[in-house]
Amino acid sequence: MNYKNSKRIFEEAQISIPGGVNSPVRAFKSVEKEFPIFIKSANKAKLIDEDDNTYIDYIQSWGPMILGHNDDRVVKAVRESLIDGCSFGLPTKKEVELAELIISMVPSIEKVRLTTSGTEATMAAIRLARAYTTRNKILKFEGCYHGHSDSLLVSAGSGLLTEGYQDSNGLTDGVLRDTLTLPFGNLEKVKLLLEKEEIACIILEPIPANMGLIETKKEYLEGLRELCTKSGTVLIFDEVISGFRVANGGAQELYGVTPDITTLGKIIGGGYPVGAFGGKKEIMDMIAPVGDVYHAGTLSGNPISVTAGLATLNILKDDKSIYTQLEEKVDFMVEKIYELSTKYKIPVCINKMGSLFTIFFTDKKIIDSLEDVIATDTHAYSIYFNTMLDNGVVVPPSKFEAHFIGITHTQEILEETLIAIEKAFKAMK
């Protein structure tokens, strides 16, 4: 592959943009590549870069492109909406329609507030939980990522793990003191902490996907629900990735566990900037202008994002077979990757859930903690990433992320991907 234009653009970008990228994981540093590829267009399951290289896409904009890039139905709705205007700073009927649609699909949500991003949604949810409980301290889990607000950057996942650290600089002593962390999956440690501390909320990804994909046990989520109910602690599910990705009602539908507040993003904008947080009516009615917990945003409920979200969610709601198809595609890929692993004696552990999966290069059979993920072979993942890229397949540029499959990943595309994976495994010999 020729990357001449991407290299040149990256050199220019570093002059005007810190690190040359607007989100750290895009820099490709952790996969031992000097520069990232710069994308100029996309269609269905494919990306095209500035050098006119075409790639099969397993990043899917980190989740929202479940219907594929530029789905005709979504594009048609957006084009029609653009004619009416792209931002008003005033309410629209479509905001109400999207809110009603979300409430009809997500078990925990009785009322919902739209935001511009998932980061903003989790930040507001934390503030709301503190106001509701009149407590200051929060509990999050090591390796779970909830956006880049101060409270949630303590022991976070995603880009922080990719860059080789967990706590961002610039956090105050007060933030560090009020944000408590524990290893994900250890219910006994949560129980002991809640017996000692008054905690406003517990926030977690019910399906962690920012330290690589970690498969959650139902008993763990049920236990957290019971402990929160008993202690008066608000349970927040961050479903920015899992919401509408693994089921219409997200992880809470799959596991049958209902949180007090849910945060959403990604798919509810059909790929356009959007987020949301919602939950019990008694909690949500504490938000201004009804209550005194302030949340605002000029672009909250942006009409273009809302239009794309309405089109996407209505398609997912009307055709539930989409989730079955996606799971079958993932099952096929995982089975074939394990066959290649055996053939070339490259040890891997693959975690999967719905339309997500992560390949860990390790001889450990089960990966269920951040420590397990950190111990996996980073160099092997770099070989995998770069070989895939050179063979026209884009996978996450970090071992701490998940692969996403969309409905436009055809059988032919999956078979083509497996050819590239075989080449990657040969390169590791």
Ordered per-residue pLDDT tens for the chain, 429 residues: 899 999 999 999 999 999 999 998 999 999 999 999 999 999 999 999 999 999 999 999 999 999 999 999 999 999 999 999 999 999 999 999 999 999 999 999 999 999 999 999 999 999 999 999 999 999 999 989 898 777 777 765 444 454 444 455 667 777 778 999 999 999 999 999 999 999 999 999 999 999 999 989 999 999 999 999 999 999 999 999 999 999 999 999 999 999 999 999 989 999 999 999 999 999 999 999 999 999 999 999 999 999 999 999 999 999 989 999 999 999 999 999 999 999 999 999 999 999 999 999 999 999 999 999 999 999 999 999 999 999 999 999 999 999 999 999 999 999 999 999 999 999 998
Angle at 239 between CA 194 and CA 398, to 5 degrees: 100
Cβ atoms within 10 A of the Cβ of 83, count?
7
Q: Is 364 a catalytic residue?
A: no
Q: Give the whole-angstrom CA distance, residue 150 versus residue 168.
A: 8
SS3 state at 113? strand
Note if the pTM is more than 0.85: yes
Beta strand 349-353 pairing with 54-57? unpaired
Question: Helix, strand, coil % (nearest 5) of the chain?
Answer: 45, 15, 40
Q: Find how far residue 203's CA is from the centre of its chain.
A: 15
Question: What are 82's two structure tokens?
Answer: 């653009």
What would the CATH number be for the domain defined by 72-318?
A: 3.40.640.10
8-state DSSP, 217: P
Q: Token pair 């084009």 is at which residue?
A: 79
Question: What are 313's two structure tokens?
Answer: 């969610």
Measured over the CA atoms of residue 232, residue 258, residue 243 and residue 194, the dihedral's sign is positive
pLDDT at 169: 64
Q: Is 238 a catalytic residue?
A: yes
Cβ–Cβ under 8 Å, residues 133 and 174: no
Question: What are 307's two structure tokens?
Answer: 């239009």
Residues 36/37/38/43 CA torsion (nearest 10 deg):
-140
> Side-chain half-sphere of 7: how many Cα atoms within 13 Å?
6
Q: Give the whole-angstrom CA distance, residue 197 versus residue 195.
A: 6
Q: Give the whole-angstrom CA distance, residue 364 versus residue 71.
A: 39
> Which helix (H) or strand (E) element contains residue 252?
helix 250-255
Q: Give the whole-angstrom CA distance, residue 34 versus residue 203.
A: 36
pLDDT at 177: 85
Q: Give the whole-angstrom CA distance, residue 152 versus residue 141.
A: 10
Question: What are 157's two structure tokens?
Answer: 């996942």
Decide if domain 4-70+320-427 falls under CATH 2.60.120.10. Answer: no
Q: How many residues does the chain have?
A: 429
Q: Token pair 């209550």 is at which residue?
A: 291
- My answer on whether omega of the bond before 206 falls inside 30° of 0, hence cis, is no
Query: What residue spans in the chain does CATH classification 3.90.1150.10 cover?
Result: 4-70+320-427
Name which of 60, 108, 136 is nearest 258 in CA terms: 108
Rg (CA), the chain: 21
Query: Looking at 29, 46, 266, 329, which residue is catalytic?
Result: 266
The dihedrals phi and psi of 231, each to the nearest 5 degrees, come to -95, 0
Query: Looking at 55, 145, 220, 384, which residue is catalytic?
Result: 145
Question: What are 43's two structure tokens?
Answer: 């269609």
pLDDT at 336: 98
Query: Looking at 49, 71, 238, 260, which residue is catalytic?
Result: 238
SS3 state at 350? strand
Measured over the CA atoms of residue 53, residue 57, residue 61 and residue 62, the dihedral's sign is negative
Q: Give the whole-angstrom CA distance, residue 278 versus residue 108.
A: 8
> Side-chain half-sphere of 105: how many Cα atoms within 13 Å?
26
pLDDT at 168: 52
Q: List C-alpha distances in Å: 209 to 7, 169, 242.
A: 29, 23, 8
Q: Give the whole-angstrom CA distance, residue 102 versus residue 278.
A: 9
Query: What residue spans in the chain does CATH classification 3.40.640.10 cover?
Result: 72-318
Cβ–Cβ under 8 Å, residues 405 and 329: yes
pLDDT at 174: 75
Cβ atoms within 10 A of the Cβ of 101, count?
17
Alpha helices in 185-217 (DSSP H): 187-196
> Which residues lie closer than 8 Å to 125 by C-beta, 6 or more apart?
201, 203, 236, 261, 263, 277
